Structure 1
Amino acid sequence: MAKLFSKEFKRKLLVWIVPPLIYALIKLLFFTCKKKFYRPQNGSATPSIYVLWHGEILMAAAAYTYYTKRVEADTIVSSHFDGELAARLMQLFGGGTIRGSSSKGGASVLRQALKSLQKGRDIALTPDGPRGPRHSVADGAAVLAMMKKVPIITMNCNPTSYWSMKSWDRFCIPKPFCTIEFYFGNPFYVHELSLEEAKSLIQKRLLEHAV
């Protein structure tokens, strides 16, 4: 009986229950909300690195699929339990995942992400995830873009009405029947910049339409 209520069992139960519920919520919101897409230049024909703030991630998979008309993306998610939930959710959308972060398993994550880009797949990540600080930019996206000389595309989800969680990232949940504005930035390259210049440019582009 003790094993039935063990921490491991509870986590397995949550992985089985929570992602399908979130998937259904995302589909419901995407269906009920009015959507506006701002994409001056569609860069989806080239393998790219998609970046967005951790607090705006809820609608990202649905927006990416709508933008690219495909699901050929591998999302970098943490090796923590919340990353396990995110990995299962991405599987429901048909995408792949790479487990790890810049602080844990960084070298392995980098190798896997480079292989994905080489295969023509996109990489999606939150430069301020998984633990913040909010709207900070870690090295990952810039290093990948510099090594493979691939473009970076920023994504923002900006609802006209939403709930903001009391978490470090102020996680944003759009309210049903609101208008969600999705901003996809023009693709840009950073391989001729220094690492700090590249990170600063990513942050600047993402802050232009941040919630």
Structure 2
Amino acid sequence: MDKSFKLKDKIFIWLAEFIILLIMRIIYMTCKKEFIGKPVGQKACVVLFWHGKIAMLPFVFKKWWINKQAKVIISDHKDGQIVSGVSASFGIGTIRGSSSKGAVKALLQALKEIKSGTDVVITPDGPRGPRHSVSDGCVIIPQKTKSDLVILNYNASKFWQFKSWDGMILPKPFSKITYTISEPFSVQDMSMDEAKIFISQKMQEFAS
């Protein structure tokens, strides 16, 4: 944990991680699960999912990431530290930084991770929206590294939807969760605007 956090912040973060993981695992254990798609290949790729689906997606990394590492880009803020701790429980690494803070540092590390064979995971509309927007990093990283993108999503037969900016979806216990992963696709040779529109369309289609 970041040494710059005060003791009360560290206690809050630890408690938040514990409660979030407990809720996630209870929901996952009580739900029926269906997985549609194939595990990712060994070539490094950029993985995308909407911020509103962040709650239950960490579970798929033990299903579809076989003998392969993934790291998610998260903010440098306190809430980012909570996400980092939760992600670590699933064997998912982190790259700290966002469009508002540490963007260049995060971008350079993401490029380095891809080149070393590690998948980079991005919530295109994170960490603060607007909802279902697509950040420049979703285009820059795959184009600079000549890597493909894949999309993750889940839908639930019964769920709560929070009145947060991202409209977060949390499945209800004893519902059915259907996880999906797309086929790899490319945005090479597209302009920034073309690529962002293309990614947005692919994600909206895949999440429907």
Same fold (TM over 0.5): yes
What corresponds to 1:4 in structure 2? none
How far, CA to CA, are the matches of 1:179 and 1:46 in structure 2? Answer: 31
CA-to-partner distance for each residue in 1:143-191, whole Å, 9 max, x for gaps?
1000001110001111111111111001111101111111211100112
What corresponds to 2:52 in structure 1? 55
Distance 1:98 1:8, change over 3 A: same
- 2:152 aligned with 1:155: yes
1:70 Cα offset (Å): 4.7
CA-to-partner distance for each residue in 1:7-37, whole Å, 9 max, x for gaps?
9333211211211322232222222211122
Q: Which moved more, 1:137-146 or 1:9-18?
A: 9-18
> Alignment partner of 2:207: what SS?
coil
1:110 Cα offset (Å): 0.8
**Aligned residue among 176, 180, 199 for 2:177:** 180
Q: Which amino acid aligns with 2:108?
A: R
How far, CA to CA, are the matches of 2:61 and 2:198 in structure 1? Answer: 22
> Alignment partner of 2:154: what SS?
strand
- 2:28 aligned with 1:30: yes
Given that 1:158 and 1:209 are in contact with CA atoms closer than 8 Å, whether structure 2 keeps it comes out as no
> Alignment partner of 1:208: what SS?
helix
How far, CA to CA, are the matches of 2:62 and 2:46 in structure 1? Answer: 14
Q: Which amino acid aligns with 2:53?
A: E
Give the alignment's TM-score, normalised by structure 1: 0.90
Given that 2:51 and 2:166 are in contact with CA atoms closer than 8 Å, whether structure 1 keeps it comes out as yes
- 2:121 aligned with 1:124: yes
Given that 1:65 and 1:71 are in contact with CA atoms closer than 8 Å, whether structure 2 keeps it comes out as no
How far, CA to CA, are the matches of 2:172 and 2:69 in structure 1? Answer: 28
Q: Which amino acid aligns with 2:62?
A: T
1:125 Cα offset (Å): 1.1
Q: Which amino acid aligns with 1:27?
A: R
- 2:14 aligned with 1:45: no
How far, CA to CA, are the matches of 1:70 and 1:183 in structure 2? Answer: 20
> Alignment partner of 1:47: what SS?
coil
How far, CA to CA, are the matches of 1:169 and 1:94 in structure 2? Answer: 25
Distance 1:44 1:27, change over 3 A: farther
What corresponds to 2:6 in structure 1? 8
What corresponds to 2:105 in structure 1? 108
How far, CA to CA, are the matches of 1:53 and 1:133 in structure 2? Answer: 11
> Alignment partner of 1:124: what SS?
strand
What corresponds to 1:210 in structure 2? 207
How far, CA to CA, are the matches of 1:109 and 1:69 in structure 2? Answer: 25
1:77 Cα offset (Å): 0.3
Quote the RMSD (CA, aligned, Å).
1.6
What corresponds to 2:189 in structure 1? 192
Q: Which amino acid aligns with 2:19?
A: L
How far, CA to CA, are the matches of 1:168 and 1:146 in structure 2? Answer: 29
